[in-house]
Amino acid sequence: MLPVISGAAAIVVLILLIVKLKLHPFIALMISSIILGLVNGLGSTKSVSTFTKGFGDQLSVSGVVIGLGAIIGGLLVSSGGGTKIADIIIGKSKKALIPMAIGLVALIIELPNLFEVTFVLMVPIVFSVAKSLGKSPLYVAIPMAAGMMTAHGLLPPGPATIIGGTALGADLGMVTALGLIIAVPVFASGVWLFPKLMQKQYLTYAVNDGSEFDQSATAGEDRSPSLAAALTSVLLAPAMMVIGTLGDAVFPKSSIAWTVTHFMGNAVISLLIAALFSMVFLGLRLGMSGNKVLGLSKTSLKPIVNVLLIIGAGGGLKAMLEGVGLSKIIATTTAEWAIPMVLLAWLIAALFRIALGSGTVAVTAAAGIVAPMLAQSDSVHKAMMVLAICTGSMIFSHVNDGAFWLFQEYFGMTVPQTLKTWSLLVTIQSVVGLLGLLAMEGVISLV
């Protein structure tokens, strides 16, 4: 019983350290993990080594992938590629379809970017489009947020799917393929269902008009990339991952075709190729010097240091849960429960998300608990569990989440108004994602 009691206590300590004492999640995860090891008799040396090994194991793939994704995102933003995508898609949309077009643009730009980067990039576009339509900024902002959360939570190379996929040993190509299916209802629930239910209410809110955002002067190169180059830089890696998964299923193992597609489908290789493509077609081909491309790459990596520390520390907690035997106890116990595994994984991640605020921490902690339950699972079910954790980590962003305040401050809303818009929006998307996964599980069981 000691591993169970001490494990529960460690989670409580983690929550208190973050919520009450306002410690950085990296420090809080480290403290709670090492205390868990000490209480269970691992000793100081073994506790520290277990944590650091888990830290390194977690970042061995996810750290590289997220870093490469950040470089692609930085070049996309700096070159004007993000604006090019927005101008083309929004400019060719019928007036009634502009909210959906905004959501699609946000989804595409979010794929290689951190949430905050995409948000800051999209906000001026939101205000500009809303002004041209004569609508409240929230008419455009809600679909934007829905598109961002869909990509952020369900599609590689977003941090959530990379962290969960690495921790559970899932095939990221399979995660991408199934994530694309689940993304459709999740996206639709945000850009269509939520506005249909709530628009009459939130369009009456007095929010910022965006007058402080002036797009008349743009910084950067005189030349902008083509739409094809911008889209390819974003979609190349996910496409290669899916090709790798299809190749594994179709071609005989060790054949030339299998070797090529398997190599292409590796997350590190696909992101590396996409990053090199971006450096050439979003940088050098536009007239940037090699030094400028290097400088932009370095700058784009700075914001992810915080994320990587949290991800690594989450891997340390996962290793400690396994080291004290708690993960095995949980796996054995939950195997006897009459509850779908998808629902269980979603609930665990949702509880962490609501308690801690950070979706990243929620995914890392939930993955550590869920991983031992999947030892005998096939690639499809592992991918579904990754998506279950990721959709659970999207739920009810509130006052302990930085994204909540980002939305609230940029649009000048009150806390209750933000709860009724942003928080409710991501909650609906999370629940729709769960329902989609349960339906998918039912279909797979019949096949």
Residue 164 pLDDT greater than 50, yes or no: yes
Both tokens of residue 99? Answer: 């909210």
Q: Which of residues 400 and 398 earns the better pLDDT score?
A: 398
Q: Which of 167-176, 356-365, 429-438 has the lowest mean pLDDT?
A: 356-365
Predicted confidence at residue 331, as pLDDT, reads 65
Q: How many CB atoms lie within 10 A of CB 113?
A: 29
Q: Is residue 253 included in any domain, yes or no?
A: yes
Write the pLDDT tens digit of every residue in 240-271: 988 998 998 899 988 999 999 999 989 889 98
Q: Is residue 315 included in any domain, yes or no?
A: yes
Stretch 321-334: mean pLDDT: 76
Write the pLDDT tens digit of every residue in 75-121: 988 888 888 888 888 888 888 899 999 999 999 999 888 787 788 77
Predicted confidence at residue 389, as pLDDT, reads 96
Stretch 334-351: mean pLDDT: 84
Task: State the total domains in the chain.
Answer: 1
Stretch 46-68: mean pLDDT: 89
Predicted confidence at residue 220, as pLDDT, reads 46
Stretch 132-157: mean pLDDT: 93
Q: Is residue 326 included in any domain, yes or no?
A: yes
Q: Which residues contact 148 (CB under 8 A, 6 or more apart)?
A: 106, 107, 110, 115, 118, 119, 122
SS3 of residue 10 by DSSP: helix
Q: Which of 202-216, 259-273, 400-414 has the lowest mean pLDDT?
A: 202-216
Predicted confidence at residue 212, as pLDDT, reads 59
Burial class (CB in 10 A: 0-12, 13-18, 19+), 202: buried
Residue 24 pLDDT greater than 90, yes or no: no
Q: Is residue 265 included in any domain, yes or no?
A: yes
Residue 223 pLDDT greater than 80, yes or no: no
**278 pLDDT tier (thresholds 50, 70, 90):** very high
Q: Minimal CA–CA distance to 316: which of 93, 84, 100, 48?
A: 48
Residue 168 pLDDT greater than 50, yes or no: yes
Q: Is residue 65 included in any domain, yes or no?
A: yes
Rounded distance between C-alpha atoms, residue 436 and residue 419, angstroms: 24
Stretch 11-38: mean pLDDT: 88
Q: Minimal CA–CA distance to 129: which of 90, 169, 185, 76?
A: 90
Say what percent of the chain tops pLDDT 70: 96
Residue 215 pLDDT greater than 70, yes or no: no
Whole-number Cα distances in Å, 82 to 113, 144, 250 = 11, 14, 35
* Angle 386-390-394 from CA coordinates, rounded to 5°: 170
| Cβ pair 347, 392 in contact under 8 A | yes
Stretch 384-407: mean pLDDT: 90
**214 pLDDT tier (thresholds 50, 70, 90):** very low
Q: Which of 32-41, 209-218, 235-244 has the lowest mean pLDDT?
A: 209-218
Mean pLDDT of the chain: 88
Stretch 277-305: mean pLDDT: 90
| Cβ pair 394, 149 in contact under 8 A | yes
Residue 416 pLDDT greater than 80, yes or no: yes
Rounded distance between C-alpha atoms, residue 56 and residue 43, angstroms: 20
Residue 49 pLDDT greater than 90, yes or no: yes
Angle between helix axes 194-202 and 137-154 (nearest 10 degrees) is 140
Rounded distance between C-alpha atoms, residue 304 and residue 63, angstroms: 9
Residue 351 pLDDT greater than 60, yes or no: yes
What is the helix (H) or strand (E) element at residue 149, kind and residue range? helix 137-154
Rounded distance between C-alpha atoms, residue 321 and residue 231, angstroms: 41
Using left for φ > 0, alpha for ψ between -120 and 50, and beta otherwise, residue 80 falls in: left
Q: Is residue 216 included in any domain, yes or no?
A: no
Q: Which residue range is the domain that position 20 belongs to?
A: 2-211+221-446
Q: Which of 63-67, 218-222, 288-292 has the lowest mean pLDDT?
A: 218-222
Return the top range by mean pLDDT from 334-343, 384-393, 408-417: 384-393
DSSP 354-410: HHH--HHHHHHHHHHHHGGGGTT--HHHHHHHHHHHHHHTTS---TTSHHHHHHHHH
Q: Which residues contact 28 (CB under 8 A, 6 or more apart)?
A: 14, 17, 18
Q: Is residue 237 included in any domain, yes or no?
A: yes
Residue type, 102: I
DSSP 287-338: T--HHHHHHHHHHHHTTHHHHHHHHHHHHHHHHHHHHTTHHHHHHHHHTTSS
Q: Which residues contact 219 (CB under 8 A, 6 or more apart)?
A: none
**65 pLDDT tier (thresholds 50, 70, 90):** confident
Return the top range by mean pLDDT from 45-54, 93-102, 207-216, 295-304: 45-54
Q: Is residue 160 included in any domain, yes or no?
A: yes
**213 pLDDT tier (thresholds 50, 70, 90):** low
Predicted confidence at residue 216, as pLDDT, reads 41
Predicted confidence at residue 334, as pLDDT, reads 64
**376 pLDDT tier (thresholds 50, 70, 90):** confident
Q: Which residues contact 266 (CB under 8 A, 6 or more apart)?
A: 244
